[in-house]
Amino acid sequence: MAALPDDTMFHPGVAVGWDPDSMGIEIERKFILHDDSWRTQVQRSERIVQGYLVGADALTAGLARASVRVRRAGEQAWLNIKAARLGVERAEYDYPIPPDDADTLLATLCGGVLSKWRHHVRVDGTLFEIDEFLGDNAGLVVAEVELPHADAMFPRPPWLGREVSTLGRYYNVNLIAHPYARWTQAERDAADGESAGCC
Per DSSP, the three-state class of 31 is: strand
Q: Is 52 annotated as catalytic?
A: yes
Residue 123 forms beta bridges with which residues? 126
**Helix (H) / strand (E) containing 101:** helix 99-108
Q: State how far the Cα of 68 lies from the Cα of 54, in Å rounded to an integer.
A: 5
Provide φ and ψ at 107, rounded to 5°: -80, -25
Q: State how far the Cα of 192 lies from the Cα of 199, in Å rounded to an integer.
A: 17
Per DSSP, the three-state class of 10 is: coil
Buried b (16+ CB within 10 A) or exposed e, 164-189: bbbbbbbbbbbbbbbbbeebeeebee
Annotated catalytic residue, options 52, 93, 170, 180: 52
Catalytic residue annotation: 52
